Amino acid sequence: MNNRILLVEDDQSFGAVLKDYLMMNNYEVTLATDGEQGLKEFMENEFDIGIFDVMMPKKDGFSLAEDVKRINKNMPIIFLTAKNLREDILKGYQIGADDYITKPFDTELLLYKIKAILQRSAVVEEDEQEHFKISNIEFDSVLRQLKVHDAEYKLSP
């Protein structure tokens, strides 16, 4: 299955070109043209990574990223923007960006950054699967522990 990218870019021609480029490199891409539409797409679909412009109408990329991180703190986000001031870059990372790329940029480098972030993201998802909870039963494969109600049981290797 191809990784799914939420691309939020208000420059429609640039967004369309970038979407096509990412699709040619085997990504599924949903393009939203403002932050509100981007949030709507995020709420209605599942994505593996978000690539957000910062300066957009209705909701800027920083606000969008804050909303996304409140809902899914592990969602990888790359800011792809013309805003190259130090304080903007710092703000992007403070919000939780995995990368902050300023325009103009190297498209091949963007692909490598996406791939690296997605690989790290997959490891985080695997780690989270080491702890399962169903109703009042919890299993932790790292601690080799089973909890049923309030009783704890150590499991042998």
Tokens 């940029």, located at residue:
105
DSSP string, 31-52: EESSHHHHHHHHHHS--SEEEE
CA-to-CA separations, 116 to 12, 49, 76, 121, in angstroms, rounded: 27, 11, 11, 9
Domain assignment of residue 61, yes or no = yes
- Average pLDDT of the residues of the chain: 89
**CATH number where 116 lies:** 3.40.50.2300
Domain assignment of residue 138, yes or no = no
Domain assignment of residue 30, yes or no = yes
Domain assignment of residue 52, yes or no = yes
Domain assignment of residue 136, yes or no = no
pTM of this structure? 0.77
Domain assignment of residue 22, yes or no = yes
DSSP letter for 85, please.
-
Residue 74, domain extent: 4-130
Cα–Cα distance, 145 to 88 (Å, whole number): 45
Task: Give the CB-side neighbour count of residue 93, counting CA atoms within 13 A.
Answer: 9
Tokens of 7: 């691309």
Q: What is the pLDDT of residues 60-100, one digit of tens each?
A: 999 999 999 999 989 999 999 999 999 999 999 999 999 99
Domain assignment of residue 90, yes or no = yes
> Into how many domains does the chain fold?
1
pLDDT (average), residues 103-114: 95
